[in-house]
Amino acid sequence: MEFTGERVVPGKVEPDLLNEHVSRYLFASPLVAGRSALDVGCGTGNLAAEVARRESNRAVTGADLSESYLAFARARHGTLNAHFQHCDAAELPFASGKFGASLAQLVLTFVPDPNKVVAQMARVTRRGGVVAAAVWDFCGGLVYQRLFWDTAAAIDPSAGPARDRLFAHPLSQPDALGALWTAEGLAEIAVGSLTMRMDFRSFADYWEPLLGGQGPVGVYVTGLPAGQRDRLRAAVRDAYLAGRPDGPRSLAATAWAVRGIIP
């Protein structure tokens, strides 16, 4: 199943990018109409908010370990039918079968035990409900990170292993999500890719969000000495420009997605 979405607004970066596309993928099934939903690893709450907006009477719970993310989510989305709760994705504190649907966006490649998380998502989803997830196709489908990491690895030996750990993650491979959903006993499994555009106004629009220290790229960049960071910035800028004047660039971004039904 292939989704090609609208271009996102300039400079928008994860975790907001897939909100509309994942919610479409999740709620393509009529089985979840009107049912409650759980967003595991909700971060800033934007996906939970998108799900809540689709049906005003749908109760949506966002769960995350980060209190700062949860505070932001509550402040930004508190007027919607969404509730945000602190908890561990591997030990969800909800009754079995509580939700009509559960989903995890860009989360499973960053948790210690994705099998345990998916097992918990399946446990708290009632019979006939949907369990869905999406993860970045780091190696083959995420151009803005590929541009960064390949450039960094060419000038810094320590960047290569960091890139390889990220790009070689088992769940970033085409068949991995389907195998995980099958192992958890889900039925009517559908696996596909979600592709959209990531638009940047300029190199600064591309580079400056990396200085926030979030995610593997941010951690790597902010951990460099100032001189080495300047050298990296110059090399990545050359790769971004690719012989053209500075200005807008539109880079493809693809995620693997899976959806299954609790039998």
pLDDT in tens, 150-195: 999 999 999 999 999 989 999 988 889 999 999 999 999 988 888 8
pLDDT confidence band for 46 (50 / 70 / 90): confident
Closest CA to 152 of 81, 52, 29, 235: 235
End-to-end CA distance of the chain: 21
**Helical spans, DSSP H, in the chain:** 19-26, 46-54, 67-77, 114-123, 138-141, 143-155, 159-167, 176-183, 203-207, 215-222, 226-241
- 32, 26 contact by CB (below 8 A): yes
In the DSSP assignment, the letter for residue 240 is H
pLDDT digits (tens, 9 = 90+) for 78-104: 777 889 999 999 999 999 999 999 999
What is the mean pLDDT of the segment spanning 27-34? 50
The model's confidence at residue 253, banded by pLDDT at 50, 70 and 90, is confident
- Give me the domain span that covers residue 89: 2-261
pLDDT surpasses 50 at 218: yes
Burial pattern 138-154, b for ≥16 Cβ within 10 A else e, equals bbebbbbbbbbbebbbe
pLDDT at 58: 80
**Distance (Å, rounded) from C-alpha 210 to C-alpha 219?**
9
Rounded to a whole number of angstroms, the CA Rg of the chain reads 19
CATH number for the domain spanning 58: value is: 3.40.50.150
**Whole-number average pLDDT of the chain:** 85
Cis geometry, peptide bond prior to residue 174 (ω within 30 degrees of 0) = no
* Total domains in the fold of the chain: 1
Residue 121 has pLDDT above 80, yes or no: yes
Fill in the DSSP letter of residue 1.
-
**Mean pLDDT lowest for which of 7-21, 51-65, 118-132?**
7-21
